[in-house]
Amino acid sequence: MIDLVIADDHAIFRYGLRALLSDEPDFRILSEADNGTAALGEIREKNPQIAVLDVSMPGKNGVEVLAEVCRDKLKTRCILLTVHNNPVLAATAIRNGAAGYLLKNQTFRELPDALRVVAAGKKYYSAELIQALARQKEHLNLARQLTRREYEVLALIVKGMTNNEIATQLKISIRTAETHKSRIMNKLDIHTSVALIAYAFQHKLVNDSQDMPSSE
């Protein structure tokens, strides 16, 4: 028998989880919680084999609950559920010790199998998530090919500056600014300024502090 605690702040979703798992003979739900703080209390009290945690909950979120469970070396293994296919968030959860990570749109199809895999001491991550992580790694590898100067140029492009303005800002020639922009686009396989700006925002290649790699 696999003992569970489930936590989600949406009562209807919790009801759906309970109905799904109640039909399986090898699962036993010990308790439920509608926020992260209560979930952590239930985990400490009930000591379940697995906790199924929504990532976005009031009080403590799912990743924070996971971090405390791992920090305190509790035996409970955690599976996180989320509506967002966000590889950055997923990577954070995995680094913090998540034994499973599922997208909510796949939960009712995948959760029973995920629970059994995790109960057996293995890890289970949804196929969509694995693909998103692979794409994110590919994007980061591409971004690392940019030099520091190219990152500086990219940051100014994102601000909406023209080649002339970039040249003035960086005290370089217009031709040099154009060359940097062309190299950035070639490295990232992007062919318009609009697409380049969207890509930079989507993959967080620049930020307000304009932190950039030191490579030349």
Helix (H, G, I), strand (E, B), or coil: what is residue 31?
strand
Helix (H, G, I), strand (E, B), or coil: what is residue 104?
helix
Task: Name the token pair of 146.
Answer: 């940019």
DSSP 43-70: HHHH--SEEEEESS-SSS-HHHHHHHHH
Task: Name the token pair of 103.
Answer: 């997208």
CA distance 190 to 192: 6
Helix (H, G, I), strand (E, B), or coil: what is residue 14?
helix
The amino acid at 153: V
What is the Cα 134 distance to its own chain's centre? 12
**pLDDT score at 140:** 58
pLDDT band at 114 (very low <50, low <70, confident <90, very high): very high
Average pLDDT, the chain: 85
How many CB atoms sit inside 10 A of residue 37's CB? 15
**pLDDT score at 171:** 93
Is the pLDDT confidence value at 6 over 50?
Answer: yes
**Mean pLDDT on 174-191:** 88
Q: What do you get for the CA distance between the two ends of the chain, in Å?
A: 57
Q: What percent of the chain has pLDDT over 90?
A: 52
110 vs 92, residue with greater confidence: 110
Is the pLDDT confidence value at 215 over 50?
Answer: no
CA distance 145 to 30: 50
Kindly report, residue by residue over 58-93, the tens digit of the pLDDT: 989 999 999 999 999 999 999 999 887 776 677 778
Specify burial of residue 197 (Cβ count, 10 A radius: 0-12, 13-18, 19+): middle
Bridge partner residues of 52 (DSSP): 6, 79
Q: Which residue has the tokens 């990152």?
A: 151
Is the pLDDT confidence value at 113 over 60?
Answer: yes
Q: Is the pTM value of this prediction over 0.85?
A: no
Cβ neighbors of 176 (< 8 A, separation 6 or more) are 167
For the ranges 77-81, 96-100, 158-162, the maximum mean pLDDT occurs at 77-81
**pLDDT score at 169:** 92
Kindly report, residue by residue over 25-64, the tens digit of the pLDDT: 999 999 999 999 999 999 999 999 999 999 999 989 999 9
Which domains are delineated in the chain? 2-136 (3.40.50.2300), 144-202 (1.10.10.10)
What is the Cα 115 distance to its own chain's centre? 20
CA distance 84 to 32: 22
**pLDDT score at 208:** 45
